[in-house]
Amino acid sequence: MKCGFYEMDITPKLGSIIPGGFAARYAENVQEPLFARAFVAETEQSALAVVVVDACGITEDITLRVRERVAQLTPIPAENVMLIATHCHGGGPTLNWGEEVVTDPEYLTLLVNRAADSIALAYFRAEESELVKGREELYGVAFIRDYLMKDGTYKTNPSRNEPEKIERPCTELDPEVLVIGVRQGGKQIGTIVNFANHPAIVAKSNISSDYIHYLSEGMKKEFGQEHVTVFINGALGNVNHFNPFDLETYQPGRHIIVGERLAEAAIAALRSAQPMKENSLACASSRITVRFRKPSLEYLEAAKQTLESWGDDLINRTPKTPEYTKVFYAMQAFRFMADKRTQRELPLQLMRVGDVYIAGTPIQMYTEFGKAIKKGLPSAAMVSAFANDYAGYVPTPDLIGQPGIYEARLCPTSALEADTGDAVVQGIIDLQAAL
């Protein structure tokens, strides 16, 4: 099997909008640069590519543009290209969200061209390779962020100042760090790393690829500056770096520690890695239909009261004013009620590289669904929550409707029915038969 890697800078210009919050943040500095990092594999029978961009998210139209350009530049079939976002909260303007966050067509063109070109350059550099797979478990850098409180309520990221009010996390973390290592002439040229953790540690006015930068730097320090790390972020919908029982996890610079620890785990996984038993490639795609949630009459009445309480001053409620989130969610209730759509399609994609599956989904799924995908496939699997499109959070059904759970509140990034996660899991498992 021939393999190749390549990385290209996709850092936007200063002044660009940074997605990932209610308000628009404008880039004032570049703290850590952004990259598109590509992996290409080719046999006599097939070829496929995975390209990961440091971005909060990407939409399907971006994916289609990347695929079209890749098909023009290489023999790789468009349908065999997977585009993934890392979900960093210091990325460029790739999403529309709320009243202020909008995309920049100029930046999207740059991202599309460089993501596609990184695949082409990886393809042109592909050589016969030895592939290995390895795994480690990593603790202490990622934590479940939804908690059952002692008063019986649920809360996302409860206060670090009142840990005595917390009963327990709602579920258990998936600590797996899964790697695909690629060696040429005995030298490690690139690694695909899969781990689930929100890269929302750097989330102010600095462009930043968050802990992914320090993962890459740690791997380069170990294997040389030409080494490329393709990081696939996993089922992180209810996972981030905060531990309310450990104040150290809130300290500035935490993204450096997280990235360095992840690099150490990936290196350890490579040291104990085993050669792939299979030396073939496969790729399959499908589309499933899922339904939107609609607000109840009680929810709409509460939203109406919220908006009316501001009177004529409602027009002055912006993302930068106090209590704006109440206004935002109230507005979203009426938006979803007025939306004629009742359902949408989700693109699913499953690749197999040797013995390892790469499952591409567009939902910011809870860790439970990532575990279910891994359990349902016949060998080791990497799961992506930001592949080929962005369809928002998908919590477990028991947390939908819980007012203290951020990921479950009805809005553009949390709008799908409670059975969506199970449907995506089954859709990926069904794709395995198509391979």
How far apart CA 63 and CA 84 sit, in angstroms, is 9
Whole-number pLDDT of residue 21: 87
Dihedral sign for Cα atoms in the order 129, 134, 138, 143: positive
Q: How much is the mean pLDDT over the chain? A: 96
Please give the average per-residue pLDDT across 159-187, as a whole number: 96
Query: What is the predicted pLDDT for the residue at 435?
Result: 87
Distance (Å) of CA 402 to CA 152, 185, 270, 334: 11, 54, 41, 19
Task: List pLDDT tens digits, range 2-25.
Answer: 999 999 999 999 999 999 988 899
Confidence (pTM)? 0.97
Cα separation of 134 and 422, whole Å?
Answer: 28
Phi, psi of 139 (to 5 degrees): -120, 160
> What's the rounded mean pLDDT across residues 222-233?
98
If residue 97 lies in a helix (H) or strand (E), which one and from where to where?
none
Distances in Å between the Cα of 109 and the Cα atoms of 50, 92, 103, 105, 113 are 19, 12, 11, 6, 6
Distance CA 41, CA 351 (A): 11
